[in-house]
Structure 1
C-alpha cells in the first residue's frame, strides 16, 4: 500500500517543467564511479591520480545553502552511497553491499576527498513496528527522485516514503507511513561523520528538551555548537538514550559521560498510517535563532516551489543553446554543482556570535580559487562582497587568511597543501568589481604574511630563502606577492607595492632551467612536477623564456598532453584529465605559445571524454564545484585567470551562450559550429575583427558580442598576440 501512496505523493511533486533550467539538472550526476565515454586519441594517454568518482550527492539544498539533507549510509565521502575510503587512482572500494540508508542526515560535503569533517548531523530515521531497535538497521533505498531543492525516496525496510526540501536555515521532512503501521521517527543527536574508521564525529556535550510536539537542543561537535529546533505536525515528542525511551523530558550529556559515547536523541509519534511532517531549524549561535529558522507553519509544497524558484534564478544566469540533450543536462548540472559551496552561514558565526557574513565548507580552496570562486564573484558580486568580508573577519580573528575552513575549531586552516591562496582570491575579487575596503584588505594581507602566523609560516621562509618546499608553494607565495603588489598599486600604497614587487619574481627558483619544468627534488601533492609546471604565472613571457622559448614550451606541453612521446630516459607524467585539479588550467597555457589550436583540441576532448550524464558522469572528485565550474567556463568558450584582468578564449561546446552579467549581457556565438569544428578561424568582438585569443576583463564584465567562425582544421588564430604580462 505504501508504494501506491508514495507514487501518488511523488506524482504530486513532479519536477517543475515550467522552470526550464531546474528541469535540466540531474543531482545524481557524479554520485558514483565514473562511467565515461571511451577515451580516444590523446585522451587515452592521460592518467588519474585519484579514484574516478565524483563524490557528489543528490540531497536537497539551496544555492550556496547553509543546510542540506540526504539519505545516509555512512559511506565515503558524503555519507551517501556504497563506497569506502579511497585515495588513489583505482576504482573506489565498495564498503556496503547494497544501496542502503540508515535514514536522512543534515549537512553534507560535496565532491570532496580526504578531509577532516564530514558532518551528517541529526540522523533522522522513520521507525517500524520494532521501534527504536530498527534505528540501526540498514534499509534498501529505492524510488529516489531529486531536482534542485528537493529530494525523495523510499526506505524499504519500514516501507516508508520520505521527502525533504530546504529553507534558508532549516529543512522540512515529510514521511508517508503504511496504513495501519505505527507512525514514529527517531532523530539521533549523537550521530556524525562517516561509518569509516577514524571518520566519525562524536558529541562533546548536548542538551535536549521536549515540549509537546517540539524539541529544542544543542549538540557540540568538533567544538562547534549546533543549535536545533524541531517541530512536528500532529505528533508527540519523546527522548531516548541507548535505544531506550526516557520518561524525562530533558537530557544533558556531560563531558565525563562522553567517553561512553552513548547514542541519544529524540523522536515523534503520530497516528497510525499517517503522513508526518517535521520542520528543522538550525543555528550555530542561539537557540532562538534555530526556533525562528524552523518555519514550522510553512506549507511543504510552497517550500519546494520556493526552493526551485531560487535555483531557477541562479541557473538562468548562464544560458546555452544548441548542442545535444545530454550536453544541455551536463551543463545545467555543472552549474548546479558550481553553486552548492561555499555554504552561506551568514549571521551564524559561532566564534564571534555577532551578525555578519560567514561561510563554511571551504574544504578545497586550492581548487575553488581557479574556477568556482571567479564564477561566483562574476555572477553574484553581492555574494562576493560578503565572502571578502568573511575572509577579512577570519584574518582579524585568527591572524591569517585560511586555505580551508570547515565547521570545526581546529588549528589546521593555514597549513594544508597550498599557501597564500586568499591573496589571489581577493585581488581577483577587486578586479571583478567587488566592493570592499581594499586598503584594509591589503593591510591585512601584508601584515598576516610578514608577521605573526605569517612569520612562522612558509611566507617567512620564502622571505628568507626565496623559495620553500614543496616547490608548488613557492609558486603560490610568489603569486601572492604579485597580487599584493597589484592591489597596492591600485590603492596607492607605495611601500607595500615596492616590497611585494621585490618578492614576486622568485617563482623562477622552483624551476629547472635545463628541463624547463619544476624541479624534481620536491614533493608534490596528488601529482608530480609535470602537473604543476604549467600553472599560470604573472610573468608568462619569462616563464616561456626559461623553458627555451615558445617552440620548446609548446613541445613540453605536447609531451604532457600526449601529442608526442617522452625522450629516451625522460621521466614524464601526463595530464590528469581533470580526474584531479592541479593541472586544470594547463590546456590554456598553449595560448602564451601562440598555439590556440592545441588548446581547442584538448578542451573539447576533455569535454567529450571526461564528462557525461548519469551518476558516473564526472572523471574525479567534484571538489565543491571546482571541477564543474571548469566545465561551465570551458563549455561557453572562456576561462578565467584568477588574480589577473584576463579572460581566455577556448573552444565553445555550444553554438550560443549568454552570460547575464551585472553590467551587461555577454553573447558568444559560433558560426559553422559542429562536433568536429573545434578550431577558431576568425573572431569578432563587437563586430570588429579580434586577433587575440583573450579578452580584457573589463571587456568581459561590460558584456558584448563575441562571434567565432569555427573550422575543422587547425588555424593560426591567436598566434600573433599572446595574453599580456602584468607588471606588479
Structure 2
C-alpha cells in the first residue's frame, strides 16, 4: 500500500473528498438562515488523482451525475439531489473528469479501465461497492468490494499510472474500454466517431480515439502481461482494431486488455496526447514511486503559495482544500492544441468561465503570472482561429462555446490580466477584442444587438457587454488607441437601460439564469457611484442590500429574492457592494457568515457546485480578507478568517494580519498599510502586487472604517 508523503505539510491538510456529497453544513445562523438554494446543494467534486491545473485526471467511475463519480442522478433545482445508487459504487477507473460543474453539454470519462473478476470480460460493467477510499493531491485509491480488488492511481503531467492488487486465487486481468465516455444515465453517454488501436511488438497497446471531434492518442504499457483486444464480450484474435461510424451504424463496446502480472499485481501506465501517437509514448510516466513523489511535490509547491495562521484545524483543512480545488482547472494542455497541431499555450475545461472570471482567474493571475501569460496567449489564439473569444471552452469541437450564459467575459479577463501586470502583446490583445466585438462572431452576436438597441436579453448580458466596452476603453486609453477608446466609451452607458429606476434593481421583464433579477442587481460595475444614485442614493441602496441579505424583511407585497449564499455564483461579489455605500460592517458580517455557515469539512462540506474552482477561490480570497474586482485596478478589503495570511506574489509577499480576530470580532476598527493608517476599504492594485503588510485591528462592534473613503468608480 502506497503511503502518503509525511514531509509535505500543506498537502497533508487537503481532503479531496470535500464536496462530493449532498451538503451537510453547520446550522445557519442569523441572516444565513434566510438565504436560498437556486441549485442542488452539492459541490459535485470528485477525489480523483490529478496534477495542479493538470491535463489528466483519474477517478472511480460509477456513471453517475455529474463527474461520473458518486451516487447521484441528474439534479438541476435547489432540492436535494436524487440518489441513483444506495451505496458508493464503481465499475472501474475513468480519465479526464470535470471539476464540480453543473450540467454541461457532454462529459469526459474516457478509457474506462476495469480490473476483471471471476466473470472475466462478461462482468466488465457490473457495479461493485466502492470501499476503503483514500486520496491526497495527485493520488487516489480504494477497493472494489465484491471482487476484493484494490486499486491505486497516480497522475503525471501527461499520463497516469494504475496499480491493481488481486486477491489470492484470482488471476490478474484488466480491460480498458476505448468506446466509453460520458455518463451512464439519461442518454448522457458519449461514443467515438472514429478509433483505431493495435498491439505493439513489445506487447504494449497504442491507439487513437476521436471523441466529440477531439482526437485522443494513447499508449499503454503493462510489463509482465499479455495484451489482447476485445469487442463486446468477445476476445479478438486480431492485433489491430478500427471503427468508424461513417462505415457502420452498430455501436459495439470495444477496447483492449492485459492478463497476467507480477504475482497478484498488475500495473498499467498511460501516456496521452491530442496531437500524435509518438507524443503519447513520450508522455508515459516513469516508475511508481517517482510518479507519486513528483505529484505530491508539485501540489506542495502550489499549496504553499498561500500560508495562513490562526484558526482551527478544521478551518485549515477547509482552506487548504479550497486552494486545492481552485488549482484544478483550467486544464493545461500546453503544446497539445488539437486544432492546429502547433506548440504553444493551450487550455481546456473552461466550462464555467462566467464563475471563474470573478475569483479563480484573478487568483491564478496573482499567484502564477507566467501561467496567466500563457492563458492570455491561449485566448488570443482561440480568437484568431475561431473569430471570437469564448465564454466556455471544453474538450470538444462544437459551436456553443461562444453563446452560453454570459457575453464578453474575456474582455474583463484580459483587462484584469493587464492591470495585474501580466506580460503580453497588449496592442494585439486590444485589436482582437475590438475586431471580434465588431465583426466575425461579434457581427451576429449580442454585441451587435447591444449596439443597435442599447440592450439585450437576458439583461445580465447588457451589463456584460457594457463592462466589456469599459474594459476595452480602459485598455485603449492605456495603449494610446484613441479611436477604439472613443468608440468603446460611447457604448458603455447602456448599462443603465437594464435597470428600473423605480425599484433600483434590474428590470423584471427579462430571463435570469439560475437566479432572479435581485441576484444579478448588485454586480460590481465600473461606476458604482452612479449605480447607487440610480437606486436613490446610499440609504436606499443599503436598504435594498439589507433586504437581499436578510438584515431586514420585505415590505408589504414586495417580492424579494434573497442572496444565494454561494450555493450558486451569480451574486458571489454582491456582499462587497456595501463598501461602495460606506457600510464595510455589513460586508464583514455577510462574508463571515458565509464562511462560518456554508463551508465545512467532510463530503458535504460545500454549499453548491464547485464550478471548476470559482466557489473555492471565493473562500480563499475572503479567508485572507481580500476580494478582487475583475477588470479594475483595486483589491477590496473584507473580514479575514485567519489571524495571518500571506500570499507569496512574484514581486513580494503580501500579508494580512488581523489582530484580535475571532468569530465575534469581525469588524475592522483600524487599518494600517505598511505602517501607515488607512481608512479606505480597498487597496490599489500596485499596493497589493508589490507586496506589503495590511494590519487590521478587529473588534465586535462596527466602526467608522470605510464609511468615507469608498472604493473608486472608474471612468473609461
Please say whether Structure 1 and Structure 2 have the same fold, judged by a TM-score greater than 0.5.
yes
The answer for unaligned runs of 5 or more in structure 1 is 1-8
Cα deviation digits, residues 463-482 of structure 1 (max 9, x gap): 11111010000000000000
Is 1:560 aligned to residue 548 of structure 2?
yes
TM-score, L = length of structure 1: 0.97
Partner residue, 2:218: 228
Superposition map of 1:161-172 within 5 A: 161-172=150-161
Superposition map of 1:432-443 within 5 A: 432-443=420-431
Cα shift at 1:38: 0.6
Does structure 2 retain, via aligned residues, the 8 Å contact 1:205–1:258? Answer: no
Does structure 2 retain, via aligned residues, the 8 Å contact 1:651–1:678? Answer: yes
C-alpha separation in 2, matches of 1:137 and 1:453? 46
Alignment counterpart, residue 413 of structure 1, candidates 392, 401, 418: 401
Alignment counterpart, residue 70 of structure 2, candidates 65, 81, 94: 81
Partner residue, 2:445: 457
SS in 2 for 1:631: helix
Is 1:526 aligned to residue 504 of structure 2?
no
CA distance change for structure 1 residues 610 and 451 in 2, over 3 Å: closer, same or farther?
same
Does structure 1 retain, via aligned residues, the 8 Å contact 2:64–2:185? Answer: yes
Alignment counterpart, residue 163 of structure 2, candidates 174, 178, 183: 174
Is 1:393 aligned to residue 367 of structure 2?
no
Cα deviation digits, residues 635-679 of structure 1 (max 9, x gap): 000000000001000000000001100000111111111110000
Partner residue, 2:131: 142
Cα deviation digits, residues 157-190 of structure 1 (max 9, x gap): 2211111111110001111111232110000000
C-alpha separation in 1, matches of 2:45 and 2:530? 40
Partner residue, 1:255: 245
Does structure 1 retain, via aligned residues, the 8 Å contact 2:39–2:567? Answer: yes
Does structure 1 retain, via aligned residues, the 8 Å contact 2:224–2:262? Answer: no
Alignment counterpart, residue 95 of structure 2, candidates 76, 81, 106: 106
Q: Which deviates more from structure 2 when the two are superposed, residues 247-256 or residues 553-562?
A: 247-256
C-alpha separation in 1, matches of 2:576 and 2:9? 32
Is 1:339 aligned to residue 319 of structure 2?
no
Compute the RMSD of aligned alpha carbons: 0.8
SS in 1 for 2:100: coil
Partner residue, 2:48: 59
Cα shift at 1:716: 1.8
SS in 1 for 2:299: helix
TM-score, L = length of structure 2: 0.99
Does structure 1 retain, via aligned residues, the 8 Å contact 2:547–2:562? Answer: yes
SS in 2 for 1:357: coil
Partner residue, 2:595: 607
C-alpha separation in 2, matches of 1:516 and 1:259? 57
Does structure 2 retain, via aligned residues, the 8 Å contact 1:177–1:273? Answer: no
C-alpha separation in 2, matches of 1:189 and 1:79? 16
Cα shift at 1:213: 2.6
Alignment counterpart, residue 318 of structure 2, candidates 330, 333, 348: 330
Cα deviation digits, residues 75-121 of structure 1 (max 9, x gap): 00000000000000000001122211000000000010010121000
Partner residue, 1:155: 144
Does structure 2 retain, via aligned residues, the 8 Å contact 1:182–1:273? Answer: no
Cα shift at 1:569: 1.2
CA distance change for structure 1 residues 563 and 554 in 2, over 3 Å: closer, same or farther?
same
Cα deviation digits, residues 261-289 of structure 1 (max 9, x gap): 10000000114852111110111110111
Alignment counterpart, residue 15 of structure 2, candidates 23, 26, 31: 26
Is 1:279 aligned to residue 259 of structure 2?
no
C-alpha separation in 2, matches of 1:266 and 1:116? 28
Does structure 2 retain, via aligned residues, the 8 Å contact 1:635–1:654? Answer: yes
CA distance change for structure 1 residues 623 and 271 in 2, over 3 Å: closer, same or farther?
closer
SS in 1 for 2:160: strand
SS in 1 for 2:444: coil
The answer for unaligned runs of 5 or more in structure 2 is none
Cα shift at 1:255: 1.9
Partner residue, 1:6: none
SS in 2 for 1:413: helix
C-alpha separation in 1, matches of 2:262 and 2:551? 67
Alignment counterpart, residue 432 of structure 2, candidates 444, 464, 468: 444
C-alpha separation in 2, matches of 1:135 and 1:35? 34
- How many correspondences in the alignment? 715
Partner residue, 2:706: 718
Is 1:243 aligned to residue 233 of structure 2?
yes
C-alpha separation in 1, matches of 2:113 and 2:519? 43
Does structure 2 retain, via aligned residues, the 8 Å contact 1:647–1:700? Answer: yes
Is 1:44 aligned to residue 57 of structure 2?
no
C-alpha separation in 2, matches of 1:253 and 1:315? 44
Cα deviation digits, residues 366-385 of structure 1 (max 9, x gap): 00000000000000011000
C-alpha separation in 2, matches of 1:517 and 1:376? 32
C-alpha separation in 1, matches of 2:227 and 2:281? 16
Alignment counterpart, residue 289 of structure 1, candidates 279, 284, 308: 279
C-alpha separation in 2, matches of 1:509 and 1:492? 29
